[in-house]
Amino acid sequence: MGSLRGGGGGGMEEAAAIPMVDADEACALLSAATHQYLDVRMWEDFDKGHVAGARNVPYYLSVTPHGKEKNPHFVEQVSALYPNDQHLIVGCRSGIRSKLATADLLAAGFKNVRNLDGGYLSLLRTTTNQHHHNRPSPA
């Protein structure tokens, strides 16, 4: 009989193993400058607003009613920007696309990548709530 633990698992087990970070922790890590933010939204969405200091490598090149065209050079483009031991927070609009991107980066040998749970929208909600409760310090 085989062990329940061990390699070679697939599907949902691998998806559950994606390292996650919530918006509050992401804000703290980014403020402390211990992590970089990789935005995997398409360029036009990135241009409408993004995390300060973020770099943009789209996971999808296009999204149409007929389907999504994945960026075939995604991992290669990220590798050109960051070493594979760089601490990265990967985000998109809502956290779904960035979860796929994080899985691809982990499979390609990146060691310190975490998916932003809830995506850029969760960061916006968190920073809005912080501004209502605290006076922001000058940056």
Q: What is the pLDDT of residue 12?
A: 44
In angstroms, the Cα distances linking 7 to 2, 12, 13, 14, 18 are: 11, 14, 10, 10, 15
CATH architecture of 19-133: 3-Layer(aba) Sandwich (3.40)
39 closest CA partner among 134, 115, 124? 115
Q: Is 27 a catalytic residue?
A: no
Say how far apart CA 126 and CA 103 lie, in whole Å: 25
State the residue for tokens 């300060």.
52
What is the rounded distance in angstroms from the CA atom of residue 131 to the CA atom of residue 125? 10
Q: What is the pTM of this model?
A: 0.81
One digit per residue, the tens of pLDDT, for the chain of length 139 reads: 444 444 444 444 444 589 999 999 999 999 999 999 999 999 999 999 999 999 999 999 998 899 999 999 999 999 999 999 999 999 999 999 999 999 999 999 999 999 999 999 999 998 877 654 444 444 4
Q: Find, among 107, 100, 70, 105, the residue nearest to 88 by Cα.
A: 105
What pLDDT is attached to residue 1?
Answer: 45
The partner residues of 115 in beta bridges, in order of sequence, read: 20, 90
What is the C-alpha to C-alpha distance for residues 41 and 50, in angstroms, rounded to an integer?
10
Per-domain residue ranges for the chain? 19-133
Encoding tokens for residue 83? 């070493």
Quote the pLDDT of residue 129: 72
Task: Decide: residue 49, CB within 10 A, 0-12 exposed, 13-18 middle, 19+ buried.
Answer: exposed
Catalytic residue among 21, 27, 92, 100: 92
Contact between residue 115 and residue 92 where contact means Cβ atoms under 8 Å apart: no
